[in-house]
C-alpha cells in the first residue's frame, strides 16, 4: 500500500511533464509554420523569380531500397523552376560524409537525366544539416536571394532559419508523398533541435573559402 501511495504522485508528475512536453512540441511546430507561411508557394505561376534555388538534399532511397519520393519530388520541383524561368541557377546542397553517400552528386546526375543543363547547377558538398545549407548559401555562395526547394514541412524550418539570419528566402514546396507520416513526426523534434541551435548560435560544421555563384541572368 505504501508503495502505491508513493507511485501515485510520481506518476502524476510524469504525466504532467509528458503533457507539458507534448504541448510544447506541438505549439513550437505550429508557431514556426505560422511565422513563415506567407513565404511558401505551391503554385509555380504565383512564385516570384529569384536568382538562385537552394535544393535541400536527402537520401535517394529508403532503408528498404525503395525510391525516396521526398528526394524525387524535390528534383521535379527544381526542374520546374528552371523550365519556367523562376530561377537562374540551382545550388544542390546535401550530405557528403563518405565516398559512397553523396547527396549533391546524386541530385546533379538525376537532374541531368531530367534535362537540366549542368551549367545551371552548382554543388554544396557540406550541407550536412538544413542549418548548414541555408547559412552556407549566403556566406559561401553569396546567394543573397533564394528559393528553397523541399517539402512544405521542411521549408518551414529552413525559412525560419533564413529569417533568423536575415536571408532573403522564399520556398517552392515539392509534393509530399502520401503515407509517409513518420517523416512529419520526426520534424516536430527537428524543430526543437533547430531552436536550440539558434539560441546557442551553433554554426555550420564547415565553412571554408567563398565560392560565389554566377551573377543573376535576369535583372530583378
pLDDT score at 16: 64
pLDDT score at 20: 67
Q: Torsion angle of alpha carbons 80, 86, 87, 91, nearest 10°?
A: -40
Q: Residue 215: CB partners within 8 Å, gap ≥ 6?
A: 51
CB of 58 closer than 8 Å to CB of 68: yes
pLDDT score at 69: 94
Lookup result for grid cell 513550437: 28
Number of DSSP helices (H) and strands (E) in the chain, helices first? 6, 6
pLDDT score at 220: 53
Neighbours of 14 (CB within 10 A): 11
SS3 15: helix
CB of 181 closer than 8 Å to CB of 188: no
Mean pLDDT by 10 residues, the chain (220 residues): 58 69 75 90 96 96 88 97 97 87 95 97 96 97 96 96 96 91 83 92 91 82
Amino acid at each position: 500500500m505504501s508503495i502505491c501511495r508513493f507511485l501515485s504522485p510520481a506518476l502524476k508528475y510524469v504525466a504532467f511533464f509528458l503533457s507539458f512536453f507534448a504541448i510544447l512540441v506541438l505549439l513550437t511546430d505550429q508557431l514556426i509554420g505560422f511565422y513563415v507561411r506567407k513565404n511558401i508557394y505551391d503554385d509555380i505561376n504565383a512564385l516570384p523569380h529569384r536568382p538562385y534555388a537552394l535544393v535541400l538534399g536527402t537520401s535517394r532511397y529508403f532503408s528498404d531500397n525503395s525510391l525516396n519520393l521526398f528526394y524525387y519530388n524535390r528534383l521535379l520541383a527544381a526542374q520546374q523552376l528552371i523550365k519556367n524561368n523562376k530561377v537562374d541557377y540551382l545550388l544542390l546542397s546535401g550530405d557528403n560524409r563518405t565516398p559512397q553517400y553523396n547527396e549533391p552528386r546524386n541530385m546533379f546526375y538525376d537532374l541531368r537525366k531530367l534535362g537540366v543543363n549542368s551549367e545551371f547547377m552548382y554543388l554544396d558538398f557540406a550541407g550536412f544539416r538544413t542549418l548548414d545549407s541555408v547559412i552556407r548559401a549566403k556566406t559561401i555562395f553569396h546567394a543573397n536571394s533564394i528559393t528553397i526547394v523541399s517539402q512544405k514541412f521542411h521549408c518551414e524550418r529552413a525559412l525560419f532559419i533564413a529569417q533568423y539570419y536575415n536571408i532573403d528566402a522564399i520556398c517552392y514546396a515539392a509534393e509530399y508523398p502520401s503515407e509517409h507520416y513518420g517523416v512529419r513526426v520526426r520534424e516536430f523534434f527537428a524543430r526543437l533541435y533547430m531552436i536550440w541551435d539558434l539560441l546557442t548560435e551553433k554554426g555550420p560544421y564547415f565553412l571554408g573559402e567563398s565560392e560565389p555563384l554566377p551573377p543573376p541572368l535576369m535583372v530583378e
